[in-house]
Chain A
Amino acid sequence: MIAPTPQLLARFAALGLLGVIVQTAFISQLPIAGANADLSPLLVMAVGLLCGSLAGGCFGFAVGLFTDVVSLQTLGVSSLVLLGVGYGAGRLREARDPEGTLVPVAVGAAATLAFGVGFALLQFLLGVDAPVSWALLRQLLATLIINALLALPVYVLVRRCLQGALPEDPRRRRRRAYTTGGLSPLSRGAEIRR
Chain B
Amino acid sequence: MYDKTVRRRRAVLGLLVACSLILLTAYFGESGSGALHGVQRGTSEVLNPIQEGASRALKPIRDLFGWFGDTIAAKGQVEDLRKERDRLRSEVLTNEIRKADYDRLSNMVQLDGALGLEDKGLKTGRVIFQSGTVWYATVRVDKGSDDGVKVGHPVINEEALIGRVTAVFGGAAQVTLITDTTIKVPARAGRRGEFGIVEPSSAGNPNDLIMRFTNPGARIAVGDRVVTRGTEPEDRDESLYPVGLPIGQVTRIENEGTDTQEIHLRPFADMRSLDFVQILTNPRGE
Could you say which interface size class chain A belongs to? 35 or more
**A76-B21, A80-B20 as given contacts; A139 in contact with B130, CB under 8 Å:** no
Chain B residues near A26: list those with CB within 8 A. Answer: 54-55, 58, 61-62
Contact assessment for B24 and A28 in the assembled complex, using a CB-CB cutoff below 8 Å: no
B66 to chain A, nearest CB (A): 7
Judged by DSSP, the binding face of B is helix
Contact assessment for B132 and A25 in the assembled complex, using a CB-CB cutoff below 8 Å: no
Chain B residue at smallest Cβ distance from A73: B136
Chain B residues near A24: list those with CB within 8 A. Answer: 51, 129-130, 132
Does A72 belong to the interface (CB within 8 Å)? Answer: yes
Q: A129 CA to B22 CA in the complex, in Å? A: 23
Chain B residues near A58: list those with CB within 8 A. Answer: 12, 16
B126 to chain A, nearest CB (A): 11
Mask, B103-141, CB within 8 Å of A = 1, is 000000000000000000000000111111111101000
Q: How many residues of B contact A (CB 8 A)?
A: 59
Chain A residue at smallest Cβ distance from B174: A72
Q: Enumerate 26 A-B pairs (CB-CB under 8 Å) in ascending A order.
A: A1-B5, A1-B9, A25-B54, A28-B131, A32-B69, A53-B13, A58-B16, A61-B16, A70-B47, A70-B51, A72-B40, A72-B44, A75-B24, A75-B26, A75-B27, A76-B20, A79-B19, A119-B133, A123-B203, A128-B135, A133-B205, A135-B202, A135-B205, A135-B207, A136-B134, A136-B203
A residues with CB within 8 A of B: 1, 21-32, 34, 36, 38, 53-54, 57-58, 61, 64-65, 68-77, 79-80, 83, 87, 119-120, 122-123, 126, 128-133, 135-136, 139
B residues with CB within 8 A of A: 5, 8-9, 12-13, 16-17, 19-28, 36, 39-41, 43-44, 47, 50-51, 54-55, 58, 61-62, 65-66, 69, 127-136, 138, 167, 174, 181, 200-208, 272-273
